[in-house]
Structure 1
């Protein structure tokens, strides 16, 4: 394809982009909306002489790069370089043959039958975490849900193998490293300062400390020979198809770090927004309560209960439509390609805003309204075509089933025991790597 045959979606001028840069850095979503309203479902930015960025809320673009031609679209440097510097080379940060090998290895540990084995333990952790939920006073939801979600992941990974001290240290390190990573990504012009001031070195040392803590836990488990029903045990039992060998300790550490990061913050975000929406929609909250009460009268089996939570799942889906925890994804094409009506050069950075796609009026009626019925009956089949709470295609989140079980258990336990009242009609958020809730406050009262 010759140079003059490349063509791109309508262009946002570099001058406009630079004028808006500081605001975009703080919160890109209002700016993205303005650009989509002006240019349509995809727009582009030209950087320098030949580099292009495309941002899209077009479902055809999302399906093409994530599913139909996914082999030509690898993760961007943001994910493969920045994240891997601190998180290592796990499923989230690698591409190509190595990613495929790891995915095939780890997938069986997240099979539905395996997840069913973890449910009892998961429920007992959730019940104990929510026992001391503050009542009749303002509660800032995100810190509470973050604590619950982190402990569910940690204790599902290491059922009996971790002290509170180690648990708290892992949590502290993950939060510190993640906050610094955001600064590095959003303030690239300060890279020199982060380096000379010792901040990069400090955070790399924290990441190494995290590695040592996890390695110690793994070594204690392997030397104890105890049979424990947790994710660590499932991962230790996995074997590569070609060699019959298990993962190396260093690779296992990298995968566990990814599970911590991907498995706790996104879940905490989704739970926070879901409870906020229930607090603003008492009639929906009542329907969830009635469904849970009915199900619990029919069976005591937790897995059966989860499988019957049709309406609760619809509520959760509608919440993740409005506030997708992983609100944006990006890819770069390995070779020149035709993307819809556009001929794009290899190395083009393509971002898909799930936040905007999930609110695109082309696909959703009354897109800004909370309507759980979108995910019930025949309507669900239509909605699922435009719905990306866990990504799509071969790289769809491996822990989606785990997250849905966990969130349904948390929602059902809270709604069964409490009335939720939200104190505001709108939820604040900060679009970082995930869509992080800000100052979302509710009051819980005993039901």
Structure 2
């Protein structure tokens, strides 16, 4: 006798009418509403759309670990991430699923090996010093554009070393920013898709994407014919070979991967650096402690890589900043097959969202969750963060550039605090949760330190 199919059951449901009444405000800034709904309906809640479509949102560590780690093979990135992003960025690590993604990950992973990242530290340090050498002093300045420019140039110099002129890079940066802004519109306002097509906005941004691909393709072709060694990421990616065929990546695939590295690798870091600068400007004691630690590290060695190892408190400040303001603040997955998560039995194609922002502030897992306390990430206390802290995602799809980003952020914050005193009168930052969590008008005053 056939086994009777188990009935589907979902967590407490947010009424659809309530959801629709607040839909426009939620689109503009979902974060306050997520907090309200979690507090009302529990750490995982659901919304039913139509007869058979469910959305779940969670800040429960068991749910997060289950879909991202324990049963990740049944949970693919949703079409929201893959369809919209791949249209402009191509099919690479960030946008692919399944066997193709796994093949690409295995191919590219060695280029991000720790030893390879160590070799890029000199390029990073050079770019950081150039960008932060003369910041505006004696006035309040929005720190995000500064950090955005810095992070873009670090990715550019690490990818292409000195082989691309400044005007070309500026054009590439402009294109990437324009595409990202439009992407957010498409994702947030799907009901306006017809208008975006009719008004030519989709075509315009597809043309911009084509222009950026052409720029990157030109750099790749030039490098292929060059006999020089550049010791950058492009050299490393050109040297990679597929295990099964021994073949290199095609130029088209290289363009896809590099486009994604630019997008994923600079804005997330820029956000984290901006929020970290703000938190240090608010907490003068923590800032002083970073200054003293950096000063001591510089006394012991001139080697940037060795200095990074001597800056545990600086690293803890960055970790705590990414707890409070995770750049990748939310992610989602869709299950390929029916599944059971804890007490819930869910049908296939359920959209399961994970709010890292809320998980990182969930009072079940964090003491004084709204407080900036870098000490959480030092010594024995660091163990308390295991399983509830995911600034780079989790599982096999954890961010491939994590080591790169941490080096860059530690070097940038160390240089910033060594050379400037930071202060701010801003009580609470304004957030703009787009694809990444962006700050709005994060005003900081920089004052040269007496050397």
- TM-score using structure 2 length: 0.98
In the other structure, the counterpart of 2:16 is 14
- Match of 1:239? 241
What's the RMSD between the two structures over aligned residues? 0.9
What does 1:50-199 align with in structure 2 at a 5 Å threshold?
50-199=52-201
| Match in the other structure for 1:439 | 441
Alignment of 1:293-442 (within 5 A): 293-442=295-444
- Whole-angstrom CA distance in 1 between matches of 2:4 and 2:442: 52
Give the Cα–Cα distance (whole angstroms) in 1 for the partners of residues 297 and 4 of structure 2.
62
Equivalents in 2 of 1:2, 1:56: separation in Å? 29
Cα shift readout 1:425-446 (whole Å, capped 9, x = no counterpart): 2111100000001010000001
Q: Quick one: distance in 1 between partners of 2:309 and 2:84?
A: 39
- What is the rounded CA distance, in whole Å, between the counterparts of 1:391 and 1:429 in structure 2? 20
SS of 1:113's equivalent? helix
User: 46, 49, 61: which one pairs with 1:47?
Assistant: 49
Kindly provide the CA deviation profile for residues 215-254 of structure 1, in whole angstroms up to 9, marking residues without a partner as x: 0000111111211111100100111111111100000000
2:227 corresponds to 1:225: yes
Gaps of 5+ in 1: none
Is the partner of 1:351 in helix, strand or coil? strand
Contact 2:65 2:387 in 1 (8 A): no
CA–CA distance in structure 2, aligned partners of residues 314 and 342 of structure 1: 36
Post-superposition, which runs of at least 4 consecutive aligned residues in structure 1 deviate over 4 A? 1-4
Q: Which residue number in structure 2 is paired with residue 282 of structure 1?
A: 284
Contact 2:175 2:209 survives alignment (8 Å): yes
Q: 1:260 aligns with which of 259, 262, 266?
A: 262
Q: Secondary structure at the match of 1:444?
A: strand
**TM-aligned CA deviation for residue 301 of structure 1:** 1.7
Distance in 2, matches of 1:100 and 1:308, equals 35
Q: TM-score, normalised by structure 1?
A: 0.99
Deviation at 1:4, TM superposition (A): 6.5
Cα drift, residue 49 of structure 1: 0.4
Deviates more, 1:316-325 or 1:222-231: 222-231
Q: Shift of residue 392 of structure 1?
A: 0.4
Partner Cα distance (1:222, 1:322) in 2: 43
1:203-218 aligned at under 5 Å gives the runs: 203-218=205-220
SS in 2 for 1:55: strand
Q: 3-state SS of the aligned residue for 2:119?
A: helix
Give the direction of change, closer, same or farther, for the CA distance of 1:82–1:287 in structure 2 (3 Å limit): same
Determine the C-alpha separation between the residues in 1 that align with 2:163 and 2:413: 27
| Alpha-carbon displacement from aligned partner over 1:134-154 (angstroms, at most 9, x marks no partner) | 111111010110000001101
Which whole-Å CA distance do the structure 2 matches of 1:192 and 1:309 have between them?
52
For residues 155 and 300 of structure 1, the distance between their equivalents in structure 2, rounded to whole angstroms, comes to 21
Distance 2:83 2:255 in 1: 18
The residue matched to 1:54 in structure 2 has which SS?
A: strand
1:241-277 per-residue CA deviation (whole Å, 9 max, x = no partner) reads 1111110000000000110001000000000000000
Distance 2:353 2:289 in 1: 37
| 1:76-133 C-alpha deviation (Å, 9 max, x unpaired) | 0011111100010010000111111000000000001000001011101110111121
Does the residue aligned with 2:364 lie in a helix, a strand or coil? Answer: coil
Q: CA separation in 1, counterparts of 2:389 and 2:440?
A: 24
Offset at residue 187 of structure 1 (A): 1.0
Q: CA deviation at 1:2?
A: 6.2
- Flag structure 2 segments of 5+ consecutive residues without an equivalent: none
Does residue 249 (structure 1) correspond to residue 261 (structure 2)? The answer is no
Q: How far, CA to CA, are the matches of 1:332 and 1:187 in structure 2? A: 20
- Partner Cα separation in structure 1 for residue 278 and residue 5 of structure 2: 50
